[in-house]
Amino acid sequence: MTRDSAAAEPAEADRELLARYIEAFERFDVDALVALLHEDATLDMPPFALWMRGRDEIGRWMRANDDCSHDRFVPVAANGQPAVAVYKPKTEGAELEPFAIHLLDTTGGRITAIHAFLDPSLFELFGLEINPAAELF
């Protein structure tokens, strides 16, 4: 499958995959997240020197880190690729704040790479709210 890099929106299949990614993340269902990944998927997290490959390694890392069930995810697009803006409370029950943009590479109905950019300043580039109201979610 080739991707038109000039396309403003991801293909329908990628939007459906993104919806499943968001649903699994918001439930923090690591098994469902891992099931969406290609067996050789990679995960990186700029600006950190974090890089991993494969469903098993990514799944282990996800299980060992923060529960994301309090986060809220807003689908966006980046150069025709599926992406998601992640809003996270600093503490439980706190107001949601911009946290990260996840850009997904996909092939054949699977996620081949997750690029998690931990840079709240990117939200403005996507026209996203910096201080979202709770009713948006």
**Domains within the chain, CATH numbers bracketed:** 12-136 (3.10.450.50)
Single out the residue of 88, 53, 41 nearest to residue 69, CA to CA. 88
Q: pTM here?
A: 0.84
Q: Which amino acid is at 36?
A: L
Q: How confident is the model at residue 135 (pLDDT cuts 50, 70, 90)?
A: very low
Q: What confidence tens digit (pLDDT) does each residue in 26-36 have?
A: 888 999 999 99
Nearest-angstrom CA–CA distance, 58 and 80: 25
Q: Contact, 84 vs 22, CB < 8 A?
A: yes
Cis peptide before 47 (omega within 30 of 0): yes
Determine the pLDDT at residue 6.
42
Determine the pLDDT at residue 60.
95
Give the CA-trace dihedral at 32, 37, 38, 39, to 10 degrees.
-70
The helices-and-strands tally (H runs, E runs) of the chain is 4, 6
